């Protein structure tokens, strides 16, 4: 398993982002029965200004966000609530998932607002980003339900709380 991390904002060095991202990728692969030794992705660890520029460029939304994802291939399905297509290894045996970017400023603010540790929130957002790379989305309600349930399962396997607890009324 390989997750290539580019630390563009030095504040990320205080978070042990490499370990958090590797753990998130390993748990996500385990939950989806993917061989983690085959999976590759990259993560740009940046700030709000950089992610706002990327959000404007790729989504037409000139505001900061917590995490962005660019899948290597479109694995989504047209059926609402259906499992995305499974990724397949390339001729070299690698499953190149794609690229992500994560903003320190937004992550720190959100973690503080909900009373979570930065590590737990970042882990959740890396799992969330990886699921986007794997074809999951939350635009349609059935897809959001599927993605959120999977996030809860993956995070639970890591010993982390349900990030949607209040939304789900628990």
Query: What helix, strand, coil percent values describe the chain, rounded to 5?
Result: 45, 15, 40
Residue 130's CB is within 10 A of a number of other CB atoms, namely: 28
Residue-level pLDDT at 168: 52
Q: Give the strand order in the sheet containing 95-103.
A: 2-7, 39-46, 95-103, 67-71
Band (pLDDT 50/70/90 cuts) for residue 61 is very high
Q: Where are the domains of the chain?
A: 2-157
pLDDT at residue 22 is higher than 60: yes
Residue-level pLDDT at 1: 60
pLDDT at residue 169 is higher than 70: no
Statement: the pTM of the whole predicted model exceeds 0.85: yes
Give all strands (DSSP E) within 33-164, no chain letters.
Answer: 39-46, 67-71, 95-103
Residue-level pLDDT at 11: 96
pLDDT per residue as tens digits for the range 127-138:
999 999 999 999
Residue range 63-91: mean pLDDT, rounded: 96
Residue 156's CB is within 10 A of a number of other CB atoms, namely: 13
The chain-wide mean pLDDT, for the chain, equals 94
Assign domain 2-157 to a CATH class.
alpha beta
Residue-level pLDDT at 165: 81
Spatial separation of the C-alpha atoms in residues 121 and 108, rounded to whole Å: 8
């Amino acid at each position: 398993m390989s997750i290539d991390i580019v630390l563009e904002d030095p504040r990320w060095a205080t978070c042990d982002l490499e370990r958090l991202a590797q753990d998130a990728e390993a748990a996500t692969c385990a939950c989806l029965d993917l061989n983690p030794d085959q999976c590759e992705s990259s993560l740009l660890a940046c700030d709000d200004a950089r992610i706002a520029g990327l959000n404007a460029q790729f989504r037409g939304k000139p505001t900061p966000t917590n995490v962005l994802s660019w899948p290597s291939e479109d694995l989504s399905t047209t059926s609402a609530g259906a499992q995305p297509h499974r990724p397949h290894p390339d001729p070299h045996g690698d499953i190149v998932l794609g690229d992500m970017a994560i903003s320190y400023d937004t992550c720190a603010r959100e973690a503080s607002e909900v009373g979570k540790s930065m590590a737990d929130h970042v882990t959740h957002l890396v799992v969330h980003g990886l699921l986007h790379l794997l074809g999951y989305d939350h635009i349609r309600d059935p897809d959001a339900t599927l993605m959120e349930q999977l996030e809860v399962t993956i995070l639970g396997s890591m010993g982390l709380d349900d990030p949607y607890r209040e939304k789900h009324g628990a």
